[in-house]
Amino acid sequence: MGRKHSDITFLLSFLLAFSASLGWFFSMQLERTEKELATQIEGEAAVEEAEPAEEDEKGAVEKEEEPEEAEAAEVEEGAELAEEEAEEPTEQVEEVEEPTEEAEPGEEETAEEVEKPSQEVEEMDEPTEEVAVEKAAPEAEEPSEEKEIEEPPAIPEAPQPAEHEPQPVTSESSLNGLSAQTAFQVLTPLRASHSVDKIAELMRGLPIQNMELLAEEIVKDASGLLEDKHKMELISMLVTQHPENVQAQYALLSILARYVHIHQERSLLLDIAELGFANIIPVVLSWAQEFVAKQEHVPKEIKNLELDGVAAAVRENISKELGMLVDGGVKLQPQQATDLLWIVVEQKKDAGLIPYLAKLGANANAVKDKHTMLTQAAQNNNPAQVDQLAQAGADVNKMPSVETGTALQIASQNGFAKVENVLRKHGAKKFVRQAAPEAAG
């Protein structure tokens, strides 16, 4: 009995010592786990304050979790071994089994307590990853939102041209502050597309001196981007844009005197009229008069401006433009107008030219080569000219010579019924006395 009692006592002492050491081990483990948990919480706070370090801390937490799992596994293995050792005593130690059973709940509780913190650590780890993901997600979305806000409306933009391709101008202020040569290059796309109206609009806001310099650069350019008629059109537009500034108008028109090649093949006045700028013809005439008076060397195209304009209209047989010139104030010498009227009659041109030449002082009763203009028109069987000459003051009964006879006699002898009817309408008589011969007109 004494030996059995001593064995039981020894076993109980062993179990108590083992339980104490196991409790101490678990308490140390719990304390360590709590410290790690506190460290984890501090790490999460640091992640919130400094997001860039989040991935590094996460890696550190994962590294720390690995030893924790290994230690927890060791603790579980130790508990299983203790349980196996507690079950080894035979029936002789049945009385001692009760304390052993009492110790088991403690061991389980202790194990549960150890496992709970580790589970809590794992649970804390999971939200940390979720928070990190959630934080990363907004960061990924924010740039897209900002991008949507910053994106401009869907307006097509022209591609930026290279240095040798000047960018098209889009506002009046685009030419301000530029030299004439630079502005000339900037306008290259518009010149190439013959956008004369846009060029003139952009030049509107320039100072007069800058406008004159730029206009001269455009007029003297020999690249062929703008034809001569376009250059004339540009100058005419610029003059029209400054109706109250005579100085600006004269400065612009003086460019045409320096570069007469753009209108010498035809006529400056006729070009302006045909381009639809008849309203500036009086300005051009007054400028030409002042220019001729002040300049020592005046191009003949400017000196003979009015005669060249009317002659060109007669030559090209365009009565509408001739009317614009006459209405604009063009003046000719009577003999100049008469000579042009003879050209109209002899070359059977448009009868509409006759009244304008008559306004310029042409003598409708002039005689040349034993013919008046009326008898010549009757000889040509041109009832329209006969009618216009009669309205312009031609004597329908005048006989320039016996051989020629009157216009009515010519029409009657040749069977020109329409001409005869027009003459009779204007009071022509078949038999008249011969008038005294007149000098050829």
Task: At 399, list the tokens.
Answer: 């006989």
User: Cβ neighbours of residue 48 under 8 Å, at least 6 residues apart?
Assistant: none
Task: Report the C-alpha gap between 322 and 403 in whole angstroms.
Answer: 36
Whole-number pLDDT of residue 309: 96
244-278 pLDDT tens trace: 999 999 999 999 999 998 887 789 999 999 999 99
Largest CA distance in the chain: 192
CB environment 29-66: b (16+ within 10 A), e (fewer): bbeebeebeeebeebbeebeeeeeebeebbeebeeebe
Whole-number pLDDT of residue 48: 65
Whole-number pLDDT of residue 205: 84
**What's this model's pTM, rounded to 2 decimal places?**
0.59
Q: What's at 340, amino acid-wise?
A: L
Question: What are the CA-CA distances from residue 293 to residues 233, 255, 271, 298, 432 (Å)?
Answer: 26, 17, 24, 9, 51
Residue tagged 């391709």 (tokens): 165
Angle value at C-alpha 278, between 272 and 280, nearest 5 degrees: 85
Residue tagged 């088991």 (tokens): 104
250: nearest Cα among 292, 283, 214: 283
User: Cβ neighbours of residue 288 under 8 Å, at least 6 residues apart?
Assistant: 253, 302, 305
Task: At 402, list the tokens.
Answer: 């016996």
Phi and psi, residue 45, nearest 5°: -60, -40
Whole-number pLDDT of residue 429: 87
273: nearest Cα among 310, 300, 307, 317: 310
Strand ranges inside 297-413, DSSP E: 367-368, 371-372
CA 3, chain centre distance (Å): 113
441 residues of the chain, pLDDT tens digit each: 556 567 777 778 778 777 777 777 777 877 777 777 777 777 776 656 655 545 555 555 455 555 455 555 555 665 555 555 544 444 443 443 444 444 444 444 444 444 444 444 344 444 444 434 344 444 444 444 444 444 444 444 433 433 334 434 444 457 888 999 999 999 999 999 999 999 999 998 899 999 999 999 999 999 999 999 999 999 999 999 999 999 999 999 999 999 998 887 789 999 999 999 999 999 999 999 999 999 989 999 999 999 999 999 999 999 999 999 999 999 999 999 999 999 999 999 999 999 999 999 999 999 999 999 999 999 999 999 999 999 999 999 999 999 999 999 999 999 999 999 999 999 998 765 555 455 445
Alpha helices in 204-298 (DSSP H): 208-220, 228-240, 246-258, 268-274, 281-294
Whole-number pLDDT of residue 433: 55
